[in-house]
Amino acid sequence: PPSPQANQAEEAKRQQAKAEQVKRQQAEAERKSAELAKQKAEAEREARELATRQKAEQERSSAELARRHEKEREAAELSAKQKVEAEREAQALAVRRKAEAEEAKRQAAELARQQEEARKAAELAAKQKAETERKAAEIAEQKAEAEREAAELAKQKAEEEGRQAAQSQPKRRNRRAIPPEL
């Protein structure tokens, strides 16, 4: 049978082998722990980077959205302004057109009135001309009649004077024969 020393040496060898195994396991555990810590740190770094990237992306998206909203608001404001301006211009144009139409209507009425006055004046002038011509013809007729009558009277007077002269001729001769009294 093995001696007690041999047993002790065997035991010591076993203990040492066990201790070395424990040491190896501990070293392995530490290595794994370090590996895990490294992986954890890497994962945390990646998570941080991702979070930073996502935050930046979100901020960019938010800014883009805000910019788009602002553009839309400005466009809507401009559109509303343009609509109001267009409506104001259309209204002003309508008022101007109405005023122009009324002015044209007034001018047409004025022209019609003037034409009517001119027509009446022409009618009156024509009437007056006809009346004047009629009176002139009447006067000419009266003048001709008067001239005829005057000629007739002159003729009668001449005949009468001729008769009287014929009758009073001898007397005149006798009168001439008598010398004038001084």
- Domain extents in the chain: 15-161
Residue 69: pLDDT over 60? yes
- State pTM to two decimals: 0.36
Pairwise CA distance, residues 138 & 149, whole Å: 16
> Tens digit of pLDDT for each residue in 81-121?
999 999 999 999 999 999 999 999 999 999 999 999 999 99
> Tens digit of pLDDT for each residue in 19-55?
999 999 999 999 999 999 999 999 999 999 999 999 9
Pairwise CA distance, residues 179 & 171, whole Å: 14
Confidence of residue 5 (pLDDT cuts 50, 70, 90): confident
Query: Residue 10: CB partners within 8 Å, gap ≥ 6?
Result: 2
Q: What pLDDT was estimated at residue 169?
A: 64
Tokens of 45: 């770094």
Residue 165: pLDDT over 90? no
Q: What pLDDT was estimated at residue 143?
A: 96
Pairwise CA distance, residues 165 & 172, whole Å: 9
